[in-house]
Amino acid sequence: MLDEHYTDYARICINSIKTNYQNHPPILVFYYGDNESALAPINRIPGVEVIRWTNDLDKLIGLNIAAAKLGVVTYSRIHYKYLLWTNFFDSYDNVLYLDVDTLVLKPLDAIFTQEEFFAISDYTTSPDYRLFYPAFADDATLLGLLHKDNLFFPGGRNDMINAGVFMVPKKRRNEMCLRSLLEITHTYNDYMMFADQSAISLWCHYNNIPIQKKWIYNFQVNFYNQDFNTLKHEDIHIIHFSWCKPDSPLFATFQVKFEHFFEMYRLFNVCRENQY
């Protein structure tokens, strides 16, 4: 879901799909707001269905948004992603979610043919940014809740997904899976650092769903600061500007660190300039 502040990013993301994944499935864009001029560039793209977010969709999810804590997340409606677990998408098979700050560089058929929920590790290097707040590592109440659910206190760089790219298969879009996600959200509400991302990660652990390390399908831009020597830039299918955006002044300061800085910047601008 996006509002008027992110429509340009959404247009760029959609342009990247149109350019690099021409046989793509239907594209649905969920919009929250009433700024028609901001939405106009997306409405002009053929083959894109814009769906206005309403209270009925909130009711379909069934989460008490006012009571759901956000942790370090700043977007108050971040739990909208839970819609992918509802019957709203019953007419579809596998459904892929993409944040608007992603670029699709290659076809994504390999994701759509997965039989299980598919998400990539956040793989952050910082010990201060985890699924749970690190300060709760020895909290007796939290550890008791985890024990009751046959879970553990997650640790390590692969304990949490990055919720900017994930695929929900049809077999996971049912009342039982949605209910367990909502229960996890409520139960661990006080401890989770990244709201929806933490809850979905715990849901994966609860259901014994492996968190993937197939970085080519969600190559977060901060990975360029890390050791990914075994991965070729030309193999990346999705670049995710999760850390900073290419049109921000901050991004320009990293050109010394990022070997492929200018290529990323070029790809972003090509998709920005494309018109459909």
Return the amino acid letter for 6. Answer: Y
Q: What is the CATH number of domain 7-273?
A: 3.90.550.10
Q: What percent of the chain has pLDDT over 70?
A: 94
Q: Which token pair is 253?
A: 């300061």
Spell out the domain ranges in the chain: 7-273
Q: Answer whether 239's CB lies under 8 Å from 105's CB.
A: yes
pLDDT band at 20 (very low <50, low <70, confident <90, very high): very high
Q: What is the pLDDT of residues 172-209, one digit of tens each?
A: 999 999 999 999 999 999 999 999 999 999 999 999 99
pLDDT band at 266 (very low <50, low <70, confident <90, very high): confident
pLDDT band at 250 (very low <50, low <70, confident <90, very high): confident
**CA–CA gap between residue 176 and residue 116 (Å, rounded):** 16
**CA–CA gap between residue 167 and residue 84 (Å, rounded):** 9
Q: Which token pair is 55?
A: 């209270």
Query: SS3 of 21, please?
Result: coil
Range 6-26 average pLDDT: 95
| Most confident residue range from 32-41, 117-126, 128-137, 178-187 | 178-187
pLDDT at 273: 81
**CA–CA distance from 238 to each of 49, 111, 163, 268 (Å)?**
22, 11, 13, 12
Q: What percent of the chain has pLDDT over 90?
A: 74
pLDDT at 210: 96
Q: Is 253 or 118 the better-scoring residue by pLDDT?
A: 118
Range 201-220 average pLDDT: 95
**CA–CA gap between residue 241 and residue 271 (Å, rounded):** 14
Range 93-119 average pLDDT: 97
